A and B are shown apart, each in its own frame.
Chain A
């Protein structure tokens, strides 16, 4: 099983700041099949990024994804108030597994 680790566990930032979230895989993610989701309390997850760096429909360009192999990054260039949430990475190259999440909260 491909185990995903996310860091940090919690990121405390202010609106307007840049957020950098990390996702590391226990082995190489096949075909660059890596996605990112945002989840707010009481809501379903929302797809942000798929295929490492492709933004899903309707996702603002302040969200960007990068990386390869075992190391991936989600960057939010300037945090908006609605961006404070939990972010999960998912690999879907070998079955499907999720990371434990990074919580982005307001400093």
Chain B
């Protein structure tokens, strides 16, 4: 079965960076895009952008442009999200989510379990 397993919780100081991994299994890695969505406490989910696992092309939400980087390792069937210049408002649960490249539109069939990132001095 399809699984997306994320790395564990992280604590960072303001100004630091964090890198979250999303290990996938149960499907052909290059047939899906991986999106990143975060949910801060009391807030609605927020889409951060996506990476095409087949060719590595990325698209970033304007809100995070310049601060976030998505990469993938096809041999490890793993996607990564790195967020820099962290501030307290970045405290949130970060999710990776899979979207079939063959589907009509970008909705998220599969989700990782979430990674809590806490930014605190």
Residues of A within 8 A of B (CB): 31, 33, 35, 37, 43-47, 50-51, 56-57, 88, 90, 92-93, 95-101
Cβ distance A7 to chain B, nearest Cβ, rounded Å: 14
Q: How far is the CA of A98 from the CA of B103 in the complex (A)?
A: 19
Listed by A's residue number, 17 A-B pairs whose Cβ atoms lie within 8 Å are A37-B108, A44-B112, A44-B114, A45-B45, A45-B108, A45-B111, A47-B108, A47-B109, A50-B105, A51-B104, A51-B107, A56-B109, A90-B107, A93-B105, A96-B35, A98-B47, A101-B44
* Chief secondary structure at chain B's binding surface: loop
Cβ distance B60 to chain A, nearest Cβ, rounded Å: 11
CB < 8 Å A-B pair total: 54
Q: Does B28 contact A (CB under 8 A)?
A: no
Q: How far is the CA of A106 from the CA of B104 in the complex (A)?
A: 35
Which residues of A sit under 8 angstroms from B108, Cβ to Cβ? 35, 37, 45, 47, 90
Which residues of B sit under 8 angstroms from A101, Cβ to Cβ? 44
* Chief secondary structure at chain A's binding surface: loop
- B45 with A92: CB separation less than 8 A: no
- B105 with A98: CB separation less than 8 A: no
Q: Does B106 contact A (CB under 8 A)?
A: yes
- B107 with A50: CB separation less than 8 A: yes
Nearest to B104 among chain A residues (CB) is A51
- A33 with B105: CB separation less than 8 A: yes
Which residues of B sit under 8 angstroms from A97, Cβ to Cβ? 47
